[in-house]
Amino acid sequence: MSKNKNQQHYEDELRAMLSSPMTRIFLWRFIVEDCKVFTTDFALNASAYTLLAKQEIGKLLLADLKAIDPDMVFQAEKEYNAMIASTKTQFSQEEGE
């Protein structure tokens, strides 16, 4: 089955986004921090529905990115983790001054 123009455009855009380190970090941050895809413990109240909706968006994006280039998704995670570690180190050094 061939892809329609919209699907192809979407995949091309995601592929272009994965080619940039800054955008990869942004995408991973969005998936992890904003969509909280890997959060499993949360209160079961009305706000849970909001979190579940955010997670669904993040999971869809993550699945699409993995379908296009799983290696770049792994690279995005590594770059994000390196950025977080660097920020923590920098913050710790600034506190020590």
Judged against a pLDDT cut of 90, whether residue 97 lies above it is answered with no
Tell me what pLDDT residue 86 has: 87
Give the number of domains in the chain.
Answer: 1
Q: Which candidate, 49, 29, 47, places its Cα nearest to that of 38?
A: 29
| Amino acid in the structure at residue 29 | R
Q: Which candidate, 35, 29, 28, places its Cα nearest to that of 51?
A: 35
Is residue 39 domain-resident?
A: no
pTM: 0.81
pLDDT band, residue 94 (cuts 50/70/90): low
Evaluate the CA torsion angle 67, 3, 55, 81 in order and state its sign: positive
> pLDDT tens across 32-85, in order?
999 999 988 877 788 888 899 999 999 999 999 999 999 999 999 999 999 999
| C-alpha triplet 59, 60, 65: angle, nearest 5° | 95
Instruction: Residue 91: give the domain boundaries.
Output: 69-97
d(C-alpha 89, C-alpha 91), whole Å: 5
| Amino acid in the structure at residue 81 | N
Is residue 22 domain-resident?
A: no
Judged against a pLDDT cut of 60, whether residue 1 lies above it is answered with no
